Structure formats: structure tokens, C-alpha cells
Structure 1
Amino acid sequence: MIGKLKGIVDEIGEDHCIVDVGGVGYVAYCPARTLSSLEGVGTAVTLFIETYVREDMIRLYGFRTVLEREWFRLLQNNVQGVGAKVALSVLSTLSASELANAIALKDVAMVARAPGVGRKVAERIVTELKTKVPAYAGEATGTIGLKQELGEGVAVAPVSDAVSALANLGYSRDVAANAVAAAMRSAGEGADTGTLIRLGLKELAR
């Protein structure tokens, strides 16, 4: 089994790339996000690989992070009707953190944005993976918790006030929540509204 490829990008196709490892070219099928992150032919790359072995073929699927590969496995192993093609489509449309947020917030429409993913499949993804999100959220975990608290109206006053203040400046509530979550990681959960707004603005300016 191949678990990782480290080599030089030899070709970038519509749904795959070829990685030259010591003179051997490996074809890896990747999400669009992974392909767009490649720096071009001739550049170094490391891909985390999921190897599929069938009677008539061996196919490699490549991802830039271990977390993306885990989501690829999770989607197929836990959701009926989701195979490699649909899983790639979902990960081409949503980053790992965006997918985790969508599932945590039961945002079926967000998942259904992926080509080839109908509403019924999106509903199954959201329903069947809701208990898996914390373990696969990566850096999104704090943001997920904050958004749930905001949606349920139980977020502490400084946090909800800071999100509202950033939203009033023209940022979407999602973007504002992400910024405040980042601010909380820097300042701690006991930070006041002013501090969260200041750090949130600093985060948004990056």
C-alpha cells in the first residue's frame, strides 16, 4: 500500500496529477482544491495517499493533508451512497474545516453545493457524520463550538457582542464568528468585548 508520495509534479490534469518519484510517475486523483494548490509542473510536492485496489485496477487518491484524507475515508465508510467520486466532489467544494462547520451546523445546503451531491445525499452526510465532527474538525473545532453557542443564544455576552460588532462593520456573521474564535484562542475565554473586537479585526486584516 502507498500512503504518501514525495516527489516532483510532472503533470497537472483536470482531475489528477502525476508525481515523479525517483523516475517513476504516479497518477494521483485529487480534489480540485488539492490540484489548485500545486505550485506547478517541476515543483516539489508531498501528497498523502489513499490506495484503492480492485481486481481490474489500482488507483491512488492524493491529498495535501492527512485531515483531508481522513475525511475522504470517513465520507465513504460512514455514508450510504457516497463513493470516491462523490467524496472527491465534496472535498473539491469544501475545505475540511468548512465541511466540519457545515455538518456541525446542519447546513445541508452548504454540502449540497458540491456537484453530483443531491439534497438527500447531503442530508445523509450531515446526519450520519454529526457525531464524527469533533474528531475530524482540525482547527475548526473552536469555531464550531462558538457557532453552535451563537445559534442557540447561549454564547457569553462579550463573544456575542464582538461578533455583532464585526457583523455591523459589514462582515458576514460566519466570517465574524471565525475571527472572534481566533481572537479567543489568543486572548483566552475570559477576554472582554473590546479585546475580542480588536483581535478579531487584526485577524481579518491578515
Structure 2
Amino acid sequence: MIGKLKGTVDEIGDDHCIIDVHGVGYVAFCGVRTLATLRPGEAAVLLIETYVREDMIRLYGFTTALEREWFKLLQSVQGVGAKVALAVLSTLTTAELANAIALRDLAMVSRAPGVGKKVAERIVTELKSKAPAYAGEATGTIGLKQELGEGVAPAPVADAVSALTNLGYSRDIAANAVAAALKSAGEDANSATLIRLGLKELAR
């Protein structure tokens, strides 16, 4: 199995690139975000997910391990194959995807080509318990957003997010600010404290 390619970018197509490794050109299928980081003639390192089928061997390339893990995780959902998983990762960053799942934002997930409402709902429903583990450094924030999405967040937290939302901030931004406020104020902070510290975060 090929797990990584390190070489020179030989060619970039609409959905793939060719990486020259010591004279051998490897075709790696990549998302739009990954392809945008590559330049012909420049050195590149791609983390690879190798698929072996009876009639083909296909390599999928990613710039980060987190992207590769999301690629595999998305395909655990019924109706999501490699093509759709790449489309999702081309449309949303890993952080945006984790946020969308935590907040049950079907519209955000549905922005990806080939993802209809039913598939988006399956992605959000089936991956909601797994999203925090794939959220990178934002695990605490994602956990809070899941609680908000499920209506089980503590009252002071929910009130603080609601207050910031009423001030015109998006729910996502408000949740980020309150999550940061919780880190400094502690879990027992009241809503007034969380609102004050949340506004301070937003003013940075």
C-alpha cells in the first residue's frame, strides 16, 4: 500500500495531479483545496489513501492527515463514496464540516456537489458522535456545538449563545466565542459572565 508520495508536481488536472517520484509518475485524485496548494515543477508531499479493486488501483491524495481521516470517515455513511467524500472536502474545510455536523447544519453540508438533503442528513446523523474526535484542536468547541444542537447545553451557555446571536452574530461565531469564554471562566460561570467574556473574544 502507498501511504505517502514525496516528489515533484508534474501535472495538475481538474480532479487529479501527477507526482513524479524518481522518474515514476503517480496519479493521485485530490479535492479542489488540495490541488490549489500544488504548483507544477514544485516539490510536494501528499498523504495517500490507496484503493485496490479488481479492475484498478486508485490513489487519493491529501495535504493533512485530518483530511485523509475525514475522507475515510465520510465513506462510512451509506450513499457516500470516494467521489462524494472528495466533493465534501473540496467544499468545506475539516473545521467547517465538523461545525456543520455538530450544529446539524444540513444546508452547509448540502453545498457539496452530489450531496442532496437525504445524504446530508445521513452524514450529520451518523457522524455526530464521531465529529469531536476528528475536529483537530477545536474538540471542546465542537462538543459545545453538539450540545447546543441537541438542546442539552447548560442554561447559562445556551442563554449566552442566544444573546450573542440576538446581537447579530451567527450561531457558529457565537458558539465559538462562548466556548472560548468557558475556558477562561470555568464550567460554573453564569450567563452574564459568559456574555461579557464572549463579547471580549469577539472584539479581538
What amino acid maps onto 2:58 in structure 1?
A: R
Gaps of 5+ in 1: none
Kindly, what percent of the aligned residue pairs are identical?
67
> Which of residues 197, 203, 206 is equivalent to 2:199?
197
TM-score, with length taken from structure 1: 0.81
| TM-superposed deviation, 1:148 | 3.6
User: Equivalent residue for 2:129?
Assistant: 131
- Separation in 1 of the partners of 2:51 and 2:182? 41
- Separation in 1 of the partners of 2:68 and 2:114? 20
Equivalence map 1:8-87=2 (5 Å): 8-36=8-36, 38-76=37-75, 78-87=76-85
> Is the CA contact (8 Å cut-off) linking 1:146 and 1:155 kept in structure 2?
no
Are 1:178 and 2:176 an aligned pair?
Answer: yes
Q: What's the RMSD between the two structures over aligned residues?
A: 2.6
Could you give the per-residue CA deviations for residues 134-178 of structure 1, whole angstroms, max 9, x where no partner exists? 22222232222232444537446488547745873x542312333
Consecutive aligned runs of 4 or more in structure 1 exceeding 6 Å deviation: none
Q: Judging changes above 3 Å, is the alpha-carbon distance between structure 1 residues 31 and 79 closer, same or farther for their aligned structure 2 residues? A: same
What amino acid maps onto 2:105 in structure 1?
A: D
Could you give the per-residue CA deviations for residues 75-120 of structure 1, whole angstroms, max 9, x where no partner exists? 22x2122111111111111121222222222222221111111111
> Is the CA contact (8 Å cut-off) linking 2:161 and 2:171 kept in structure 1?
no
> Which of residues 91, 94, 104 is equivalent to 1:93?
91
- Separation in 2 of the partners of 1:162 and 1:118? 29
Q: Judging changes above 3 Å, is the alpha-carbon distance between structure 1 residues 84 and 149 closer, same or farther for their aligned structure 2 residues? A: closer
Pairs aligned (count): 198
What amino acid maps onto 1:70 in structure 2?
A: E
Gaps of 5+ in 2: none
